Structure 1
Amino acid sequence: MEAIDPAYGTGTLLLIAAVAVALLLFLIMRVKLHAFVALVLTSVLTALAVGFPLADIPDVLAYGFADTIGSVALLVAFGVMLGRLLEVTGGAQVLADTLIGRFGERRAPLALGVAALFFGFPIFFDAGLVVFLPIILTVARRFGGSLLLYALPAAGAFAAMHAMTPPHPGPVAAAEALDGNIGVTMLVGIPIGVVAWYAGVVPISRLMGARIALDVPNALFGEVRDEHGRAAGPGGEAAGPGRAQAGPAVAAGPGEGGAPRPALGERPPAFGTVLALLLVPLVLISCDTVVDTLTTAGTIDEGEDWAEFLGLLGNTPVALLITVLAAILLLGRPRASSMAQVTGLVDEALGPVCSIILITGAGGMFGGVLELSGIGAALSDSLADLGFSLVVQAFVISALLRVAQGSATVALTTTAGLIAGPVAEAQPGDLKISLLVVAIAAGATVLSHVNDSGFWLVSRFFGMDEKTTLRTWTVVETTLGLAAFLLTLLVWPLA
C-alpha cells in the first residue's frame, strides 16, 4: 500500500504518534491489558486519528501485520523447533561447553557476542536470534546471574551486523541510492560495526546485568519429557554455587561428572555435529545474500537458473526448514524411542511461541499504520534542508524517522533518498559515501521502542516486560547507534 496524503501538518502528525505511543504504554504498563490487544486497539485508534478512510482501515491494519507476521512466523516456528532439538539432545550444552572452554567462564558473554558477530554477518537479525536462542539460554542457566549478561551482547551483535554491513538489505539499498560501492561499504561497515558493538554494547550489557535481575525463561521451549512420558526433571534448581541446572532441557538424574543428562538418550551429540547443523543456515543464507549482491552489482545476470535455485535454498524460512529436517535426522531420531516422540517434542515447542508471533505481528501493524499515515513523508520534507554537514544530516534524519515510524529499513531507505541529491552535488568518493551509509544505519538503529516489531521480538524471547525492555534493549540499541555514529565522525575528516 501507499501512504496517504497527510491531512495534517508535520507537527500534528508527530503529536498523534506521540499520543499513540503514550496510550499504548499506558494500556500495557498501567492497565495491564494484554500487549496484543493493546497494540491492535492503538493501531485502530491511530488510523482513525490520522484520517484514513473508514473503508481502508482494515487494509491499513493488515499491511503491517501481514508483512511482519509473514516473515516472523516461519522463522520463529522453525527456530524454536531447532532450539528444542538442540536443548533436549544436549547439543546446546555441548556447544556452550566448547565456547566456554575456549573463552573461559568469565568471558562467556563475550564468547556469545563474538559467535553472534560471525553468524550475524549473512543472517538477518530475527533469524540469527532465533537460531542462537537455545545457546544463550543454556549458557545463562549454567552460570547463573541475570540473563541480560548473556542475551544483550549476542542480540546487540546481530543488530550491529544487520544494520551496518552489506549484504544485509538496508545498507545495500542505501549504498545503491547514493551510488556507492557495496564492496567498500562492506569493508567500512564491518570494522565500525564490530568496534561499535564492543564499545556500545558490551560494557552496557555488563552494567545492566549487574543491576537488573532477569531470570532465564523456562516456558519458551515447553516442558521436556522422557521416553516414558515423565517430566524430565526440575527446571532451574541450583546445581552448585553460582550455577543453575539446565532445567527444561535435561532428563532426571546426573550424567558423567554430575553434568545434566540429555532428555533424549544418554549420548550428547559431538561438537562437530552441532556446529555443522548451525553452519547449514549460515551457508545457505550466505549463498542467497551473495547471489543477491552480485546480481544487484551486475556481476550475475538476473534470471540465471542456478542463481535462482541458490536463492530458494538460501531463503531464510527454507534454510531453517532444511536445518530442522537435518536436526531431526542427526539429533532427534537416533536418540528417541520413536519418531512420534520427536514429533511430540517439537510440537510442544510451538505452543509457547504463539503469543510471541501475534505480539510481534501486532507491533508491525502499529508501525505500518504510522508508516502509511504519512508521518515519515511529512517529517522527511521538513528535514530536507537542515543546514548540517552531510554526515550529521544523515544521522539526524534517519534517527528521527526511526523514532517516528519504527522501521529501521524505512528510515534507511528514506534517508538515503533524501540526501541522494546533495550527495550527488558534493561528489564524495566511495569511502565517504560508505561512511554516510553507516551514519544512516546508526541513526536507524537508535531508540527501538514500541512501534518497532523487533522490540517485541526481543521482549518476548527473553521474557521481559515492556518497562524492562525499554530500560535495556532500547538503551543498548541507542548506545550501539551512537557509538557507530561517533566512529563515523572520527573517520570522516580522514576520508
Structure 2
Amino acid sequence: MNEAVMLDPARLVIAALVGLALLLILIIKFKIHAMLSILIGAITIGIVAGMPLTNIVSAVNDGISNTLKGIALLVGLGSMFGAILEASGGAQALAVTMVKKFGDEKAAWALGLTGLVIAMPVFFDAGLIILIPLAFSLAKRTKRSTLFYAIPLLAGLAVGHAFIPPTPGPVLVATMLGVDLGWVILIGIASGTVAMIVAGPVWGSICGKKYMIPVPEHIANQEDFDEAKLPKFGTIVLIVLIPLVLIILKSLAGVIPAMAPIAPALTFLGEPFVALLISTIVAMFILGKKQGYSLEELEKIMTKSLEPTGLILLVTACGGVLRYILQYSGLGDLIGNAVASVDMPIVVVAFIVAALVRICVGSATVAMTMAAGIIAAMPGIAELSPLYLACTVAAVAGGSTVCSHFNDSGFWLVKSLVGVDEKTNLKTWTVMETLVGVTGFIVAFIISCFV
C-alpha cells in the first residue's frame, strides 16, 4: 500500500482543479464516455500534482482492484435477481396488490412504496417501464392527471435506486467508505421513506391538481393487467426481503450480545454476496420455474441482465482510481484539513460534492462515484462510527439525486413516457428529484447529529 506523498499544497490544489475541470469538460462538452473521462481526469491530477509515475500506476491498479472486489459480485447478482423479478411479473404483482389494498384514493401511496421496493433489485429505467402502465390505468379509471400517480411512482423508484442496497449506487459508496451494508440499509430506509412521502404522494398531489396531463393515447386503449397470471403478493414480498433481512441481521449480530451464539451463522448468511445468492436461487425456482420458465430460459434472462453491469462496474472502478489518486497524492489530507478548518460536517460535504457533480454531469452514478472517492480519501474516515458513515452514504445518495435536468438521461425518459413538454418536466420531475435528494439528506443529517 502506498502512503500519501508530501507534495506542494498549492500545486495539489491546482492539480485538483485542472483534473476535475478536464473531467467535466470531457463529459459535458465533448461527450466522452464517463469511464474514460474519470480515468483521464484522475491521471491528470496525479501528473500535474507531481506524483511519481509509479505511484500513479499503483493508484490506478489499487483503485480498480479494491473497488471491484467489493461490488462486482453484488452488482451481478443484483442484476440477475432483478431480471427474474421483472420477467416473472413479480413487480406488477406487487404494484397491483398494493393498489388494491390501499384503494384508488390512496393508490399514490401504494405506487410510491412499490417503486421504492422494486428499485432496490431492479434498475430505475426497467422499473419505470414495467410499472408506468399501472399509473396510467389508475389515471384512466379515476379521470385524474397522470402526474397524480406517476410522480409518487417516480419518487419511490428514485429513492430505491439511490438510497437502499442492493442497488449499485449505495453499495459502491458503502464499499469505498468501508461501512457495513446493514447500517446503510437501515439509514437508507429511514431517510428514503421520508423522502418518498414528501416527493411522492405530497408533491404528486400538488402536480396532479396543477397540471392535467392526459393518459397517452396508445395506453388509453390498452387492456388492463391479466392479474390471474401474476405471482402471489406474499411470495414477492418474502423473496425481496430475504437479502435485506439477512444483511441487517448480520449487522445486528455484531452489536447485540444475545445474538452471540448464532452470530457466526448470521455473519456468513448476511454477507451481502451470500444473501443475494440465496435470494437469486430462491427467485429462480419459486418465481421463474413456477411462472413456467425453463432453466434454459432463465439462464438467458439472467445472462442478458448482465449486459449493463459492465458499464456500471467500469465507471465505478474508475471512481476508485480517482479516490486512490487523491489519497496517494495527499489531496485527501488537504481536503480533509480544509473541511476541518471550516468546521463543516463530513455528511454536509458529501452532499454538496455529490450535488455539484450531479448538476454539472447529470449522471447519478458519476456523482456518487466522484463524491465517494473524494470523501473516502479524507483522513480519519475509517475512525468514524458505522452509523455516521451510513448517514454519509445517504448524503451522497441525496446529492447525486437532486436537480435532474437536460443532461440527465432520466429526464428525457420520463418526459417521453409521461408525455409532457420540457418546461412541465422541469417543474414536476426535476423538483421531485430535488425533493427526494434534499429530504433524504436532511433526515440523514439529523440522524448523524445524534450518533
TM-score range, shorter chain: 0.5 to 0.7
Bigger shift: 197-206 or 345-354? 197-206
* C-alpha contact 1:68 1:364 (8 A) present in aligned 2: yes
Bigger shift: 47-56 or 85-94? 47-56
Which is richer in helix?
2
* C-alpha contact 1:192 1:487 (8 A) present in aligned 2: no
User: 1:191/1:86 Cα in 2 relative to 1: closer, same or farther (>3 Å)?
Assistant: closer
* C-alpha contact 1:47 1:373 (8 A) present in aligned 2: yes
Alpha-carbon deviations, 1:422-444, whole Å to 9, x = none? xxxxxxxxxxx999989877866
Q: CA deviation at 1:334?
A: 3.0
Per the alignment, residue 238 of structure 1 pairs with 218
User: 1:329/1:476 Cα in 2 relative to 1: closer, same or farther (>3 Å)?
Assistant: same
Per the alignment, residue 276 of structure 1 pairs with 238
Per the alignment, residue 313 of structure 2 pairs with 357
Aligned pair partner of 1:480 in 430, 439, 442 = 439
Output the amino acid matched with 1:336: G
User: 1:90/1:481 Cα in 2 relative to 1: closer, same or farther (>3 Å)?
Assistant: closer
Q: CA deviation at 1:44?
A: 2.0
What secondary structure sits across from 1:101 in the alignment?
helix
Per the alignment, residue 55 of structure 2 pairs with 56
* C-alpha contact 1:286 1:314 (8 A) present in aligned 2: yes
Mapped to 1, the partners of 2:289 and 2:387 lie a distance apart of 49
Output the amino acid matched with 1:483: I
* C-alpha contact 1:398 1:415 (8 A) present in aligned 2: no
TM-score (normalizing by structure 1): 0.61
User: 1:299/1:280 Cα in 2 relative to 1: closer, same or farther (>3 Å)?
Assistant: closer
User: 1:321/1:436 Cα in 2 relative to 1: closer, same or farther (>3 Å)?
Assistant: closer
* Residues 1:8 and 2:11 are matched in the alignment: no
User: 1:361/1:207 Cα in 2 relative to 1: closer, same or farther (>3 Å)?
Assistant: farther
What secondary structure sits across from 1:83 in the alignment?
helix
Mapped to 1, the partners of 2:84 and 2:23 lie a distance apart of 37
5+ unaligned residues in a row in structure 2: which ranges? 137-145, 166-172, 211-215, 358-368, 402-407, 415-424
* C-alpha contact 1:39 1:362 (8 A) present in aligned 2: yes
Q: CA deviation at 1:78?
A: 1.4
Output the amino acid matched with 2:333: A
Output the amino acid matched with 2:241: L
Let me know the Cα RMSD of the aligned residues: 5.3
Per the alignment, residue 346 of structure 1 pairs with 302
What secondary structure sits across from 1:52 in the alignment?
coil
* C-alpha contact 1:36 1:358 (8 A) present in aligned 2: yes
User: 1:439/1:36 Cα in 2 relative to 1: closer, same or farther (>3 Å)?
Assistant: closer
Alpha-carbon deviations, 1:82-136, whole Å to 9, x = none? 222112221111011122223456766644554687x79xxxxxx9355888655
Mapped to 1, the partners of 2:330 and 2:39 lie a distance apart of 19
* C-alpha contact 2:191 2:441 (8 A) present in aligned 1: no
Per the alignment, residue 74 of structure 1 pairs with 73
Per the alignment, residue 324 of structure 2 pairs with 368
* C-alpha contact 1:96 1:139 (8 A) present in aligned 2: yes
Per the alignment, residue 285 of structure 1 pairs with 247
**How many residues were matched structurally?**
399
* C-alpha contact 1:173 1:413 (8 A) present in aligned 2: no
What secondary structure sits across from 1:335 in the alignment?
coil
* C-alpha contact 1:336 1:342 (8 A) present in aligned 2: no
Q: CA deviation at 1:270?
A: 1.0
Per the alignment, residue 88 of structure 2 pairs with 89
Mapped to 1, the partners of 2:209 and 2:330 lie a distance apart of 42
* C-alpha contact 2:151 2:200 (8 A) present in aligned 1: no
* C-alpha contact 1:28 1:34 (8 A) present in aligned 2: yes
What secondary structure sits across from 1:128 in the alignment?
coil
